[in-house]
């Protein structure tokens, strides 16, 4: 008799485990969509701030290389200080990854944020274009 109860207990536990795994597998994409939706605005602001800081720093470095002057060095230093905003972006991105987002979802959120700034196709091309 005890072996029959042990067998049915194992079957019941395996069935419950299977149902739980199936529910989790189904719910994960919904969870990720919800996390993306609720964090898109804040993440978008951080993406924009970091992008602008990197562009300012890059422009200041180019200017300092072309026209070395004390003022140019001060501009590079100011640009480096502006890069601190990228740390907030990076920390927030790591937090979103802890909440279950993958790199592909973060990339999608970045793209949405960048395209939200652009008013037309020319702006989108300009944002994505590599400039030397």
Query: DSSP string of the chain?
Result: -HHHHHHHHHHHHHHHHHHHHHHHHHHHHHHHHHHHHHHHHHHHHHHHHHHHHHHHHHHHHHHHHHS--HHHHHHHHHHHHHTHHHHHHHHHHHHHHHTT--HHHHHHHHHHHHHHH-SSHHHHHHHHS---
User: What pLDDT, on a 0 to 100 scale, did the predictor assign at position 128?
Assistant: 57
Rounded average pLDDT over 87-100: 94
Region 11-33: mean pLDDT is 84
Q: What is the Rg, in whole angstroms, of the alpha carbon atoms belonging to the chain?
A: 25
- C-alpha distances (whole Å) from 105 to each of 29, 37, 56, 112, 120 are 11, 11, 27, 11, 24
Give me the mean pLDDT over the 87-94 stretch: 94
Task: Provide the whole-model pTM.
Answer: 0.71
Return the domain boundaries, the chain: 29-128
Share of the chain above pLDDT 70, in %: 84
Length of the chain equals 132
Tell me, what's the pLDDT at 71? Answer: 80
Q: What is the pLDDT of residues 26-71, one digit of tens each?
A: 878 898 999 999 999 999 999 989 988 888 888 888 888 887 877 8
Give the pLDDT score at 1.
46
């Amino acid at each position: 008799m005890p072996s029959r109860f042990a067998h049915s207990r194992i079957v019941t536990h395996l069935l419950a485990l299977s149902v739980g795994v199936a529910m989790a597998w189904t719910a994960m994409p919904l969870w990720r969509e919800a996390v993306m939706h609720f964090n898109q605005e804040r993440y978008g602001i951080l993406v924009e701030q970091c992008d602008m800081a990197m562009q300012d720093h890059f422009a200041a470095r180019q200017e300092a290389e072309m026209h070395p002057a004390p003022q140019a060095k001060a501009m590079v230093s100011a640009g480096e200080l502006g890069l601190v905003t990228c740390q907030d972006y990076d920390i927030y991105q790591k937090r979103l990854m802890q909440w279950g987002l993958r790199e592909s979802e973060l990339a999608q959120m970045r793209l949405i944020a960048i395209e939200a700034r652009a008013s037309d196709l020319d702006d989108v091309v300009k944002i994505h274009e590599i400039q030397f």
